Structure 1
Amino acid sequence: MTAGTGPLHIDAPTTTRLLTPAATADVLAGVLRAGFDPEAAPPRTAVPVPAGELLLMPAALGAYAGVKIAGVAPGNPALGLPRITGSYLLLDGTNLQPLALLDGAALTELRTPAVSALAVRRLTPDDRPLRLVLFGTGPQAYGHLDAVLAVRQLAEVVVVGRNPIGARALAGYARTLDVPARTGTPGDVAGADLVVCCTTAREPLFDGTLVAPGTTVVAVGSHEPAARETDTALVTRAEVYVEARAAALREAGDLLVPMAEGAIGEEHIAGTLADLVHGRVPTGRPRLFKSVGMAWEDLAVAGALYRAAREA
């Protein structure tokens, strides 16, 4: 973190130090409890570029306004570079003067798992340790493991990844957190209490008929209408929750593909994250929380980071 005459600079290590996943989930819950309606949030703008995609995510909320410019560069991992890049510019909401410049990738790595953790708080039982099956081995997979552990006890973590070395590494990291962990296969979802998908997959990762009633599935890996991590079988069985209906119906391939197939309609969405925060109780069916990531979440977390940095 650096300060001077211009905007405060909040780098990745400072982001990690200032807010825990549980505290970040509390920030998001507080915004929803205060009455903010995510349905009114501005849509994301996506621009194809030679290296991949540029995303522009503006928002205004309370005392702040801001915008995230993120890059998605699929070829970067092969070059030893992060797939997700970007910066966040936080502005004073009353006069639009710059307040802070934040590491956009670090902000995303904090905010996305926190959104999932908030859903997990509302959709999973808290009276026993849960068996987690985690798809993915990248930064979001690590962040989601930390975030889930911040809100629930885990009996076991099963890591499923295309890269065996990465899967073993993540399982090893889980064991350093005193959680039994191993690598596994997609079939392990049959015994899961919680399934978390944070991959770059464009096709379903597992057979949705294997998911037991009462199991919660969280899918965060894509925001593209043609990409999905869950199959039609799961979606048709599940009680589906989203961040906002409008955003999901624009971007959530996990839902849009089954809709295009005629398997479900828009009314299949049972509720939103705000509904859960305000006390909606899920049924005994499988539960699917599909997240696409929204600009209001980035702004809420950026504002909280700025306040924490100023206090520090």
Structure 2
Amino acid sequence: MLWFRNDRHTSRDRTVAQSTKIDYIGTEELAQLLRPSEAVAAIRDALIAGLDPAADQPRSVLSLPHGDGQLLSMPSASEHGIGVKVLSAVPDNTARGLPRIQGVHVVFQPPAYAPAAVIDGAALTTLRTPAVSVAAVLPLVTGPGRRWRTVVFGAGPQGAGHVRTLRDAGVALSDVTYVVRDPSRAQPELVREDRVVPVEQCEQWLRQADLVVCATTSARPLFDSTLLGPDVVVLAVGSHSPDAREVDSALAARAQVIVEDRKTALRECGDIALPVAEGVLTAERLLPMADVVRGEAVLDGSRPVLFKGSGMAWQDAVIADAALRKVGGATDPSRG
């Protein structure tokens, strides 16, 4: 827990922010507060209760000096206050032994809208991104009698986070194969006992895959989707740029395509915008995940499903609210 104070001011002059306790929730604290399955439930419950992803403000993106990366700002309002996540995305950090994505999520609570909590931004992203993916397809992938042979492109926090979340949410994974450029660099604490293979060997695993997770920074399709079966489920979450994509247009053309929000997907997701521009996918075919979660759009289990997520601010706000409820922050009116 952090206290923000400025002893040069009297109590009369001190601002609310300077005299209010601000909770700090780091990586370990967030993991203790919310299991992955609880994060999935929080996303689904919010959508079922009527949350409208289309009401979210677009993220703002600032290019860092010298082309070093990007600074992303993502604000969102909820009944519990305002949440703003600010992240730096610096690709060269990997070579420095640092996380590629770093930042914080700040919660401002009513009625005074003083800052009430700061949550580690990377930890929040690592928890909420797979929670959203799994929330979008949960009934389909938890149906009785099916076990899922899974291929994951990328063995970093997001790839491993999807595997962890799928398992915690009750998805029966019969086999997990991570596909990476250099298996020797895979972190044992992330991939655990699952298989890790070089990208050159991915074809044999894709041919038998039931579920594919794409969690990379690739700007080009990772594989030829004709290798995939007729009822495969693909979760693509690695890119948030209209000219970058992890899956090819052939998959978008034949799949049931779920997105967080139509306008957001067309603006930010190359996996969607590029096949639309090519004429093989239309905006009308895009299924908002809120409609799927609420049962207003029903998926056909005999056809491919593609979920494309780029990350939206409302998701961070929902997960932050759920975490703060566990520590009493979101429902304590004295915090304002």
Residues of 1 paired with 2:186 and 2:253: CA distance? 30
* Residues 1:95 and 2:112 aligned together: yes
CA contact (8 A) 2:155 2:191 kept: no
Say what the alpha-carbon RMSD is for the aligned residues.
1.7
CA gap of 1:33–1:171, structure 2 versus 1, over 3 A, is closer
Residues of 2 paired with 1:100 and 1:166: CA distance? 35
Structure 1 portions without partners, runs of 5+: none
In the TM superposition, residue 251 of structure 1 has moved relative to its aligned partner by: 0.4
Residues of 1 paired with 2:124 and 2:111: CA distance? 23
Residues of 1 paired with 2:118 and 2:140: CA distance? 34
- Three-state SS of the structure 2 residue aligned to 1:201 is coil
- Determine the structure 2 residue equivalent to 1:243: 260
- Determine the structure 1 residue equivalent to 2:100: 83
* Residues 1:222 and 2:239 aligned together: yes
TM-score by length of 1: 0.93
- Determine the structure 1 residue equivalent to 2:43: 28
Amino acid of the structure 2 residue aligned with 1:38: P
In the TM superposition, residue 93 of structure 1 has moved relative to its aligned partner by: 4.0
CA contact (8 A) 2:156 2:190 kept: no
* Residues 1:67 and 2:81 aligned together: no
Residues of 1 paired with 2:35 and 2:130: CA distance? 11
Residues of 1 paired with 2:82 and 2:233: CA distance? 33
- Determine the structure 2 residue equivalent to 1:48: 63
Runs of 4+ in 1 over 6 A off after TM superposition: none
* Residues 1:275 and 2:312 aligned together: no
CA contact (8 A) 2:160 2:190 kept: no
1:258 to 275, 282, 287: 275
In the TM superposition, residue 213 of structure 1 has moved relative to its aligned partner by: 1.4
CA contact (8 A) 1:171 1:181 kept: no
1:138 to 124, 141, 156: 156
1:298 to 316, 325, 332: 316
- Determine the structure 2 residue equivalent to 1:129: 147
Residues of 1 paired with 2:252 and 2:324: CA distance? 38
Segment drifting more, 72-81 vs 89-98: 89-98
In the TM superposition, residue 95 of structure 1 has moved relative to its aligned partner by: 2.9
Larger radius of gyration: 2
CA contact (8 A) 1:157 1:171 kept: no
Residues of 2 paired with 1:296 and 1:27: CA distance? 12
Identical aligned residues as a percent: 42
- Determine the structure 1 residue equivalent to 2:197: 183
CA contact (8 A) 1:168 1:183 kept: no
Residues of 2 paired with 1:297 and 1:172: CA distance? 25
TM-score by length of 2: 0.86
- Three-state SS of the structure 1 residue aligned to 2:328 is helix
CA gap of 1:8–1:171, structure 2 versus 1, over 3 A, is closer
Segment drifting more, 207-216 vs 2-11: 2-11
- Determine the structure 1 residue equivalent to 2:332: none
Segment drifting more, 192-201 vs 118-127: 118-127
- Determine the structure 1 residue equivalent to 2:179: 160
In the TM superposition, residue 123 of structure 1 has moved relative to its aligned partner by: 3.3
- Deviation per CA, 1:280-300: give whole Å up to 9, x if none: 321121100000100000011
Residues of 2 paired with 1:245 and 1:172: CA distance? 33
Amino acid of the structure 2 residue aligned with 1:242: V
Residues of 1 paired with 2:190 and 2:100: CA distance? 22
CA gap of 1:122–1:94, structure 2 versus 1, over 3 A, is farther
In the TM superposition, residue 3 of structure 1 has moved relative to its aligned partner by: 4.5
Residues of 1 paired with 2:39 and 2:231: CA distance? 26
Amino acid of the structure 2 residue aligned with 1:307: R
* Residues 1:18 and 2:24 aligned together: no
Amino acid of the structure 1 residue aligned with 2:101: I
CA contact (8 A) 2:105 2:121 kept: yes
Written as runs of structure 1 = structure 2, the 5 A alignment for 1:201-216 is 201-216=218-233
CA contact (8 A) 2:215 2:238 kept: yes
Residues of 1 paired with 2:185 and 2:94: CA distance? 13
Structure 2 portions without partners, runs of 5+: 4-19, 330-336
Residues of 2 paired with 1:221 and 1:54: CA distance? 17
Amino acid of the structure 2 residue aligned with 1:208: S
